[in-house]
Chain A
Amino acid sequence: MGNKMIVPFGSQHVALPEPVRFVFETENEIITNVEVDVGYVHRGIEKACQTKIGYKQVAYVVPRICGLCSISHNMAYIIAIEKLLEFEAPKRAKYLRVLAHELDRIHSHLFAMAHVAEAAGYENLVMYLFRDRELVMECLELLTGNRVQFDYGCIGGVNRDLTPEVEKELRKKLKKLEERLFWFRDVYLNDYTLNLRWKGVGVIPKEMAEKYNAAGPVARGSGVRTDARAEFDALPYRELGFEMVVYEDGDIWARNMVRMDELLISMRMIWNVLDGLPEGNYKENVKGMPKGEAVCRWEAPRGELFYHVRGDGKQILTRMRVKTPTFSNIPVLKELFIGANYADVPAIIISFDPCLSCTAR
């Protein structure tokens, strides 16, 4: 028998960017059991969207669910509504949606990678990542008007066109960012300290990822071929050069490498959007009331975001459900802790890039 201890972790903790509470039972610092509480920031957004707010305004409420992936919430919702109204957005709008979505992925992945580097104690890498993330934040501000909480998509298209002046600025900033991404990839692949800290830690075998239905970079880092961009007809990702990134190792290093390589794929898609942006409308009027049920599966930076909407021909929806990526990843995270060393807990949690404001809604 070793030293048994119960260690509370959170809801406020230096290693946690958001409020979640774990209670670990440990024996000689090895975790033997864990309890989780994710409901600290429940705001009743679903209730508001199906009792008080008209379906067109909901598109401006759901981005408030999350600061980092607000564009994912905005677009997943409007695509679900467009499916319900049997409306297809103009091709130019679809390309601009991909542009905003992939820019959002870049800033979110850089943010996540910086936090993982911080958990490894690599502070100068954190500073580099945050400094270069500013470039993509500036691009998002140029494109959408906001640094965060972008209400870029609307039912029928997007709210702003891409002007030649903005395009020129975007190209300049993105060229600089791309050079930095190649440098970061070199660091992540070859740095001795990062490899030593992350390889073989927090390993999720493929069978476990499938059994617990992991999503996003967590699943793809364990060899599961799943990405909503390849599985749901939302936007023309394939024709813009989308490619699924999968690593087999299942550890913290693999999850980070999935994010790293996805940055380069996103960058490729962004160049293809800028080079081949079709002429035409960026927005069209949509008429009708939502009647029936529709869903949207959307690959947010953290994984699969799922919207299910039901309308009964009225302004206010009968049901608006949001299932977020972290919601899907909590069960596998909980299971992964059993048998892990307590000292690895912060790095494991951060490698999941959890978002509790999304999960609790």
Chain B
Amino acid sequence: MYKNFKVIETSLEKLKDDIKNFYDPSKYHFITINAIDFGNGKVNLKYFFSKYDTMEEPIAFSLDVTYEDTIPTITDIIPSAWISEAELADLFGLKIEGAQKGLFLEPDSPPAPLRRS
């Protein structure tokens, strides 16, 4: 299923603690957050990391959420994550704590264009 990256399963409740325990900014580079909408109301989120200066597979924290869930922000752990969270809020219409809206879409754009349902 996952061809060239490692996946650590997590949940909405454990997400922040898992990332906090794992992430060391001097060792790991936070790549981005990606969402996959399966069209059944469920969205899979993956938080990608890679290790500096080492030929190792990227690591992803994976969890499933719904459109109605409020997703905790990780910007208190990784300040640069605000831009990834803003993108998810714009393109998928996900509710993420404190995420800025309208950064990637103009006011006349269709809302949440990457949603499948």
Query: How far, in Å, is A60 (CB) from chain B's closest CB?
Result: 21
Residue of B nearest to A38 (CB): B103
Residues on A with beta carbons closer than 8 Å to the beta carbon of B104? 38-39, 42, 360
Partner among A47, A230, A321 whose Cβ is within 8 Å of the Cβ of B113: A47
Complex CA distance for A360 and B33, rounded to whole angstroms: 16
Contact with B along A320-349 (1 / 0, CB 8 A): 010100011011100100000000000000
A residues contacting the other copy or chain, number (CB 8 A): 48
Is there a chain A Cβ closer than 8 Å to B73's Cβ?
A: no
Residue of B nearest to A312 (CB): B38
Which label, helix, strand, loop or mixed, suits the secondary structure of the A interface? mixed
Q: Is the CB of B31 within 8 A of A292?
A: no
A-B contact count (CB 8 A): 111
Q: Is the CB of B83 within 8 A of A42?
A: no
Query: How far, in Å, is B17 (CB) from chain A's closest CB?
Result: 20
Is there a chain B Cβ closer than 8 Å to A277's Cβ?
A: no
Q: Is the CB of B36 within 8 A of A318?
A: yes
Which label, helix, strand, loop or mixed, suits the secondary structure of the B interface? loop
Complex CA distance for A360 and B102, rounded to whole angstroms: 12
Is there a chain B Cβ closer than 8 Å to A133's Cβ?
A: no
Partner among B4, B53, B78, B105 whose Cβ is within 8 Å of the Cβ of A213: B78
Which stretch from A109-117, A262-270, A303-311 is at the chain B interface? A303-311
Residues on A with beta carbons closer than 8 Å to the beta carbon of B80? 211-213, 328, 331-332
Residues on B with beta carbons closer than 8 Å to the beta carbon of A233? 55
Residue of B nearest to A324 (CB): B32
Partner among B30, B38, B114 whose Cβ is within 8 Å of the Cβ of A47: B114
Residue of A nearest to B36 (CB): A319
Contact with A along B57-83 (1 / 0, CB 8 A): 010000000000000000000111011
Residues on B with beta carbons closer than 8 Å to the beta carbon of A323? 31-32, 34
Residues on A with beta carbons closer than 8 Å to the beta carbon of B102? 39
Question: Could you list 8 A-B pairs, sorted by A, with CB under 8 Å?
Answer: A50-B114, A84-B3, A213-B31, A226-B29, A308-B34, A308-B48, A327-B83, A331-B79
Which 6 pairs across A and B sit closest by C-beta, in order of nearness? A331-B80, A294-B3, A323-B32, A225-B53, A39-B104, A212-B80
**Residues in chain A within 8 A of chain B (CB atoms):** 36-40, 42, 44, 46-47, 50, 83-84, 86, 207, 210-213, 215, 224-227, 230-233, 244, 292-295, 297, 304, 306, 308, 310, 318-319, 321, 323, 327-328, 330-332, 335, 360
**Residues in chain B within 8 A of chain A (CB atoms):** 1-5, 25-26, 29-32, 34, 36-38, 46, 48, 50-56, 58, 78-80, 82-83, 90-91, 102-106, 109, 113-114
